Structure 1
């Protein structure tokens, strides 16, 4: 006889080793669709491969590779997150009420990540998209160096300032910036241009959802009309073709 799911359960991880912690989380997700995690102290791999219909609410600081390979679930972190959240994520939603570390969205293939504050280095590295899957990252603060490195698809929205080496090797997708770059800071092979109406429509949706996610913490909502943004994109489908032999 199948075990009946309960609406919500609570799990306290404390100082449990990450393997033990993940065993507890998986067992809880078998009993309930919503699992609250308390006293989370950097345990790795929380929410790994979590499917649609499941939700984690994390109180504390999850460790590296949270939501790696996630396939449709939802995770909300009431605090900061460490490195490589959403690593190779396929679908789902991540909301961070704080900042995140390096390499968030590494090789991300779908889904969305909303970060209230800033992020570390190499966020969005190797992001890609296919058919209807278009991964999205929205960063509310400043970004570390190499944002969008080798980006092959998807969307990044940066509300703060970019670090050095922005979009190095980018050959697909789009990065929206709230501040205009100096012409000498636009990487070779890329184009910085004003957003058009289609961009503004997308930005209105994403900024509106950012406001909804962090309404109690923002003080005042961000202007969500898409005005004042700039679009950074590859100049062509093969922006670095001249660098390689035919």
Structure 2
């Protein structure tokens, strides 16, 4: 059984490169649980780290939080900037505020749970392989191009915990170029918000099992009411083709 060691670090004005080098040195020394206070935009936190590590981050981490991460669990007790979970392989990230653009870019495993709104191109190029099924749950609303070129995994968009009451649940061109995976949306999605050739369809009983399990996990992490979340209907958006732009190319 691994003996867990905790360390509290004050980020403050520490340069991000120096701060990450300190974290890596502590991991090599056997520290497993980090509490980071006064986080002030330091980039690349937990990038490429592996194993049973935890990070409790107070403040706002900078870009590419947990890029290439494989295994650790991260809780951000505020907002997060762009690029969270870039090419992430595994682990879990919980963000108690809002997050920026390009969340989960090319994500290949693990979960990202966000309580509030997100920016543009969230879930772009998400992938799945064998039993690795990346998942993103957004409690608020999303900007343009959600799930663009998505090749696998699950995005669940709730539209509930948003600072933008008058905005649509998602921006323009939702799912543009999708050729794998599924996007679930709580409530309705107007057809004009969808990418070319896509349409929102009612979920079936198997979809509801998947959504229900994911909501249960999400609600537990963020102390929300799973029954309230599940009280609305859901729709799903799936790709219409595995080669959505195949007709643009002339065969040789």
CA RMSD of aligned residues (A): 1.7
The alpha-carbon distance between structure 1 residues 46 and 23, as it changes in their structure 2 partners (threshold 3 A), is same
Matches within 5 A, 1:162-173: 162-173=170-181
* Offset of residue 98 of structure 1: 0.4
After the TM superposition, which of the residue ranges 26-35 and 203-212 deviates more from structure 2? 26-35
Which runs of 5 or more structure 2 residues have no equivalent in the other structure?
160-168
How many Å apart are 1:226 and its aligned residue? 7.4
Distance 1:243 1:213, change over 3 A: same
Greater CA drift, 121-130 or 176-185: 176-185
Question: What's the TM-score, normalizing by structure 2?
Answer: 0.90
CA spacing shift, 1:16–1:195, aligned 2, 3 Å: same
- Which of 229, 234, 251 is 1:229 aligned to? 234
CA contact (8 A) 1:52 1:74 kept: no
Deviations 1:89-111 (CA, angstroms, capped at 9, x unpaired)? 01110000101111010111111
Q: How many residues align?
A: 240
SS in 2 for 1:162: coil
Cα offset, 1:221, TM superposition: 4.6
Q: Distance in 1 between matches of 2:236 and 2:208?
A: 10
Paired residues for 1:125-164 under 5 Å? 125-160=124-159, 161-164=169-172
Alignment partner, residue 25 of structure 2? 27
**What displacement does 1:235 show?**
1.5
The answer to whether the aligner puts 1:202 opposite 2:210 as a matched pair is: yes
- State whether structure 2 residue 201 is matched by structure 1 residue 193: yes
* Mapped contact 2:157–2:185 kept (Cα < 8 A): yes
C-alpha distance 222-17 of structure 1, shift in aligned 2 (>3 A)? farther
Structure 1 segments of 4+ aligned residues over 6 angstroms from their partners: none
Alpha-carbon distance, 1:185 to partner: 3.6
- The one-character-per-residue Cα deviations of 1:138-183 (angstroms, maximum 9, x if unpaired) are 0000111111111111110001110112111111110001122223
Larger strand share, 1 or 2: 1
**How far, CA to CA, are the matches of 1:21 and 1:60 in structure 2?**
15
**2:249 corresponding residue in structure 1:** 244
Aligned mate of 1:12, from 10, 13, 25 = 10
